[in-house]
Structure 1
């Protein structure tokens, strides 16, 4: 239980301060634990980042699926709407996973956490669309929203929904 709470607090700290800025001492304070307790569960800053990413992944998947029992195109459009809300409310500085890899490009543990996240999102998009052959394309559209959000904001969601509709239903964009 404490380990999960620490991961949740680490997620908040990294989301707020990024990956380069906070020292382990600052992370300890953000988690409201001793340095000994923090290191008991996560032996390095990189392990702390990986734990924060895993926690965020679980939160993100639950958020996307909340109130979305549909399948097909309407489900994908709802996922992209939820992604817009996520970006606005929880990720105004861009995708935390992408930012983590950019900050620690050589760290295998972080890269694996990010890969698991992206592949799970891709699988979810394939399942929710009921067209798994488009899962990779839908992931690319999804990533387009999160990567362009800081510049385009809500327009990235509008355009992504048009692209997804065209892909899944073969309709020309309006």
Structure 2
């Protein structure tokens, strides 16, 4: 097996094992899917034994929860960090949200879309804690869009925020289904129309 870029140079076991396991989870869950990734593969890529993996994460569900926390804290994976940029005006942040593309692990060979959304789909109600974490994040993301729309001067920010949330999430889901970045490009044009319609041209 080729050495994973997430764990290149790591020695098997030893210090830093928990971080390597989390990095392996981010890489493999995001690129290959949660159910398709077994514990043995996670341990191999993280350069730990399965015993060490279970010492840090007593179950795969516990690792999934930690994985969701990690990708949520790393907004670049979700493509949402632009909303936090204070060097851009609110309107520009909304536009940039659709212009920028989320990052993917080097091993990704297909368009995987939002890992939060994918986790909710894969869990299909069987992982209640993971589903709850995804729902909370999505609601908070929509609320951030409404807040940013208000800051941008939209007269009905709750409407614009919800519309942008639907467009952003829908485009990423369709891009995943088609394995094609085209829907993201289409969403960028539609978002510009919605934002300019609500706040006026630049």
TM range (shorter): 0.7 to 0.9
Instruction: Give 3-state SS (helix, strand or coil) of 1:43's partner.
Output: coil
1:47/1:109 contact within 8 Å kept:
no
What does residue 155 of structure 1 align with? 182
Residue 160 and residue 17 in structure 1: after superposition, are their counterparts in 2 closer, same or farther (change >3 A)? closer
What does residue 52 of structure 1 align with? 67
Could you tell me which of 155, 158, 161 is aligned with 1:135?
161
Q: How far apart, CA to CA, are the structure 2 residues paired with 1:61 and 1:123?
A: 19
Identify unmatched segments of 5+ residues in structure 1. none
Q: How far apart, CA to CA, are the structure 2 residues paired with 1:40 and 1:116?
A: 28
Displacement, 1:48? 1.4
Higher relative CO (Cα under 8 Å, sequence separation at least 6) belongs to 1
What does residue 81 of structure 1 align with? 99
Displacement, 1:88? 9.9
Instruction: Give 3-state SS (helix, strand or coil) of 2:35's partner.
Output: coil
Q: How far apart, CA to CA, are the structure 2 residues paired with 1:87 and 1:153?
A: 14
After superposing on structure 2, the runs of 4+ consecutive aligned residues of structure 1 that deviate more than 6 Å are 87-91
> Does 2:116 correspond to 1:97?
yes
Displacement, 1:135? 2.4
Matched residue pairs, number? Answer: 171
Residue 136 and residue 8 in structure 1: after superposition, are their counterparts in 2 closer, same or farther (change >3 A)? farther
What does residue 134 of structure 2 align with? 114
Cα deviation 1:19-52 (Å, max 9, x = unaligned): 2222212212222223233223322112212221
Deviates more, 1:71-80 or 1:53-62: 53-62
1:122/1:136 contact within 8 Å kept:
yes
What's the Cα RMSD here? 3.1
Instruction: Give 3-state SS (helix, strand or coil) of 1:20's partner.
Output: coil
Structure with greater Cα Rg = 2
Deviates more, 1:126-135 or 1:108-117: 126-135
TM-score after normalising by structure 2: 0.69
Q: How far apart, CA to CA, are the structure 2 residues paired with 1:142 and 1:42?
A: 33
